[in-house]
Amino acid sequence: MEELRLKTYQTMSLSLPPKLIKQVAAQAKQEGKTKSEFIREALRQYLELQQLRKAQAAFSQRARERGIGDESDIERIVDEARSQSAS
């Protein structure tokens, strides 16, 4: 039997310009969500995007440190690895 989990939330107040409040309300209504649900999802997506950008920046830095500048470098490395494994 699956255990029922209750979601708990904390209330947070924030100030938004009237135009943004209207846009949030309209989009939430269009998506069949409450304004709170809509804003929670928007914040989750924003935070996930920020994490992705950090990971991409770290990956790009590591690639540059290894002499990988663009796709042609990656293709060259893959071709070299294939040649070595075929030998």
Summarize pLDDT for 38-73 with one digit per residue, the tens.
999 999 999 999 999 999 999 989 988 888 888 888
Distance CA 51, CA 72 (A): 27
Instruction: Enumerate the domain spans of the chain.
Output: 21-86
**Predicted local confidence at residue 4, as pLDDT:** 64
Range among 10-14, 44-48, 64-68, 82-86 rated most confident: 44-48
Q: How far is CA 40 from CA 7, 44, 63, 85, in A?
A: 13, 6, 34, 49
**Amino acid in the structure at residue 44:** R
